[in-house]
Structure formats: C-alpha cells, structure tokens
Amino acid sequence: MPVNAANDDPDKARRFRDAALPHLDDVYTLARYMLRDASDAEDAVQECYLRALKHFDSYRGPAMKPWLFAILRNVCRAEYARRASSPTQTIEDVPEKAEQTPLWSEAPETPEAQILRQRDAGAIRRLVSALAEPFRETFVLREIENLSYREIAHVEEVPVGTVMSRLARARAMLRSAWLAEQEPPK
C-alpha cells in the first residue's frame, strides 16, 4: 500500500484510527501469546493494522475487535507457515528472556506479596504459553481479551461448541499443570 494512501482520504484515516486504535494493546497481547516473541508480535500487529486500513472501506462485519483479531490470526498463520519452512532452534538454543510484570497486575502491598505475585504471574504466563495452539488461542481470546464465545467462533472460524470445548479443555489443562507445580517435592 502506498504510504500516502491513507492521506488520500483523511476521513477514512480518522474513522479507522477512532475505531481500531483503542484495540491496539489487545491485538498486541494476542499476537504476543500466539507468536511467543515480542519483536514478531510487533511486526504481526503492524501488518494486521496495515491490512485492516487497506480493507477498511469494505469492513461491514462484527465489532472491530474480533475483526482485527481475525486479521491478526491470518497474519500469524502466515508467520507459522514461514517458520515451518525455516530451520528451527532447539530449546537449548533459545536465550532466556527476563520476565516482565504483566500489565494487569495490581501494585503489591508488601515485598513478599510482590515476590509471590511475580512468581505466580510468571508461572501462569508460562503455563498458558505451554498450551497447544488452539487451546492457547481460545483461552487468551476469552480470558484475557474478554471476547464472547460467538466472537471467538467468528475469529477462529469454528462452531461455538468447539470454542466451548477448547476453553473447557484449556482450563482443565491449566488447572492440572498449576496443581502439579504447587505440589511439594517428594
């Protein structure tokens, strides 16, 4: 898309900005969970918003957020395909990244509470990231992005029953993994 394409219709750019930019953090959060890399997530979000702006004139669909998520999902699928055709790293080759405090955590009252909250937040992020792709995506869309079952079904292009099943299985897997981590060592 030419750089000044949005400048050709300033009203379109304003309408797009007003409709899409409030969801930027949510789109990035989903991209981060799907791609598991901050840099790749930023690239995917940028591509998502470029595609959304390009096709904004034809947008007639559901709420803006699910529409953006559907575009992002397609961008991420293309990235998965690209990764599948390129050599992969083993887990030993991947450098550890410093844990980030999640945006949704509240300010701790005590140093002890802060340490426990950081430990638990890191464990939850790690457990969610370890879920298989369809369960992880469904869980993030519902529990982090607060989409309805119908909106998730639209984004993932599956029946609502499949969304409900994936969400129940994701919750059960997370519960089992969490309890297994909390068991004292024998």
Read off the CATH number of the domain in which 9 is found.
1.10.1740.10
Local structure of residue 147 (DSSP, 8 states): -
Instruction: Give the range of the structural domain holding residue 112, as residue numbers without chain letter.
Output: 106-186
Asked, for residue 168, whether it belongs to a domain, the answer is yes
How far are the Cα atoms of 106, 108, 122, 134, 174 from residue 111, in angstroms, in the given order? 13, 7, 16, 37, 27
Helices (H) and strands (E) in the chain, counts: 8, 0
Average pLDDT over residues 131-136: 90
Phi and psi, residue 63, nearest 5°: -55, 155
Question: Which distant-in-sequence residues (6+ apart) come within 8 Å of 168 by Cβ?
Answer: none
Asked whether residue 78 falls in the same domain as residue 114, the answer is no
1 falls in which pLDDT band (50, 70, 90)? Answer: very low
3-state secondary structure of 1: coil
Average pLDDT over residues 157-180: 92
Total number of domains in the chain: 2
> Is the CB of residue 173 less than 8 Å from the CB of residue 135?
yes
| Distance between start and end Cα atoms, the chain | 60
Instruction: Specify the higher pLDDT residue, 184 or 122.
Output: 122
Asked whether residue 137 falls in the same domain as residue 186, the answer is yes
Asked whether residue 44 falls in the same domain as residue 119, the answer is no
Asked whether residue 71 falls in the same domain as residue 12, the answer is yes
Question: Which distant-in-sequence residues (6+ apart) come within 8 Å of 107 by Cβ?
Answer: none
Q: Rounded distance, CA 129 to CA 136, Å?
A: 7
Average pLDDT over residues 8-16: 80
Asked, for residue 65, whether it belongs to a domain, the answer is yes
pLDDT of residue 94: 47
Asked whether residue 183 falls in the same domain as residue 141, the answer is yes
Asked whether residue 17 falls in the same domain as residue 80, the answer is yes
Asked whether residue 134 falls in the same domain as residue 178, the answer is yes
pLDDT of residue 116: 79
Type of residue at 68 = L
Asked whether residue 113 falls in the same domain as residue 74, the answer is no
Check whether 147 has a pLDDT greater than 50. yes
Count CB atoms within 10 A of the CB of residue 171. 15
